[in-house]
Amino acid sequence: MKGSYQIRIESKFLTYSFTVRRNITIIRGDSATGKTTLIAMLQAHQEDAESSGITVRCDRQCVVLTSARWEDNLASIHDSIVFIDEGGRFMRSEEFAAAVARSSNYYVLITREGLDNLPYSVDEIYGVRLSQQYAGLKKTYNELYHIYHPHRVDRREDEVIVEDSNSGYQFFRQVFQDLPCKSAGGKSNIAAIVKAASENKTVLIIADGAAFGCEMEHMDRLINSGADIILYLPESFEWLILHSGLLHDQNVRDILENPSEYIDSGEYVSWERFFAHILAAKTQGTWLAYSKSRLNTNYLDEKVRNQICRELPDVIR
């Protein structure tokens, strides 16, 4: 499934209105904000459609999936938006991750757990709150808000940790050649490296925002505990290259303008895999031929490197 979808769920007392933009959306946050009520309303509509008194407006079918026989039930759901409430332990399983990876559906998962099997974006983690737009009315209007605000890259770093161990790391090692720059060898190792870092060092972490969602609670808690971390989380290294304009390609510009319309959830479980595919396809046979496993040294050419680096925040450029 491609595209972004506006969803409006309504009863006489309560309305939820929000948009899902990618295959995985996470909802978490404080208790009693209305997460389970959202699921209950969808479930009532699923049972009895308009007779339930609940109205659901969306261009795709919205379906609630529960623990009972989830694999069998999910196998019959296609091109839909699947909602799962917390308590569904199966969300953490390898089997569920595999099902999501080959699925034409989008998923809205209510959970406070990291779900490190699932590559979800730092931009698609939300809480539920009362919409201020309708404050004061008798009816309650709920909306989603970003739990983690974009991190401000506002100071210089003492050392750099790059999530990637291949092309991305090879590029940034060159960019930050005057500083200690190491690869974390995967996102799940970053928190441990930060823990072990010296207390008086500012650590810049560069990771693929498109799949770093499961690490965000760790990062947030570390920052609140005083760890001096700067997070730089572009969609991916390949997105950075595409966004730099190096390719002079109108199709690439169109894709970057509205990725949701181009990225099929059945083909790409997360956006960074799509951007890696596009970059490799667009540069195949050219002097910028891209491989994720080993960086083409032309990307380290000063002119090329500078053009890509113009995408970095000013303070670390």
Query: Which position among 75, 137, 179, 192 is part of the footprint of other proteins (CB under 8 A)?
Result: 192
Distances in Å between the Cα of 126 and the Cα atoms of 30, 81, 133, 184 are 11, 16, 18, 27
Instruction: Provide, rounded to whole angstroms, the least separation between the CB of residue 224 and other proteins.
Output: 7
Describe the strand order of the beta sheet including 159-162 as a list of residue ranges: 181-183, 159-162, 203-206, 229-232
Q: Which of residues 222 and 230 has its CB atom nearest to other proteins in the complex?
A: 222
For other proteins, the closer of residues 28 and 273 by Cβ is 28
Q: Is 213 in the site for other proteins (CB under 8 A)?
A: no
Region of 50-58, 171-179, 191-199, 251-259 interacting with other proteins (CB under 8 A): 191-199
Q: How far is CA 30 from CA 33, 172, 201, 256, 260, in A?
A: 6, 38, 32, 34, 29
CA nearest neighbour of 296 among 311, 279, 313: 279
Query: Does 177 contact other proteins by CB under 8 A?
Result: no
User: Does 305 participate in binding other proteins (rule CB under 8 A)?
Assistant: no
Pick the piece of the chain touching other proteins (CB under 8 A) from 48-56, 83-91, 163-171, 243-251.
83-91
**Structure token pair of residue 74:** 């999910």
For other proteins, the binding residue among 57, 69, 89, 155 (CB under 8 A) is: 89
- Measured distance CA(105)–CA(61) in Å, rounded: 10
Distance CA 57, CA 55 (A): 7
Compute the least distance from the CB of residue 84 to other proteins, in Å.
Answer: 12
User: Residue 34, interface with other proteins (CB under 8 A)?
Assistant: yes
Query: Does residue 257 bind other proteins (CB under 8 A)?
Result: no
Q: What are phi and psi of 163, to 5 degrees?
A: -60, -45
Beta strands in 94-173 (DSSP E): 106-110, 125-130, 140-146, 159-162
Our finding on whether 112 is near other proteins (CB under 8 A) is yes
> Nearest 5°: CA angle at 94, between 88 and 100?
75
Question: Of 54 and 241, which has the nearer Cβ to other proteins?
Answer: 54
Query: CB neighbours of 147 closer than 8 A, spacing ≥ 6?
Result: 28, 29, 125, 126, 127, 216
To the nearest whole angstrom, how small is the minimum distance from the Cβ of residue 31 to other proteins?
2
Helices (H), 103-235: 167-175, 190-196, 216-224
Nearer to other proteins, 41 or 316 (CB): 41
Shortest distance (Å) from residue 188 CB to other proteins = 11
Residue 113 CB, nearest distance to other proteins (Å)? 5
Q: Which of 78, 102, 156, 221 binds other proteins (CB under 8 A)?
A: 221
Distance from C-alpha of 88 to C-alpha of 109, rounded to nearest angstrom: 9
Single residue of 4, 14, 17, 73 touching other proteins by CB under 8 A:
14
Applying CB under 8 A, which residues contact other proteins? Answer: 13-14, 28-37, 86-87, 89, 112-114, 140, 191-192, 195, 217-218, 221-222, 224-226
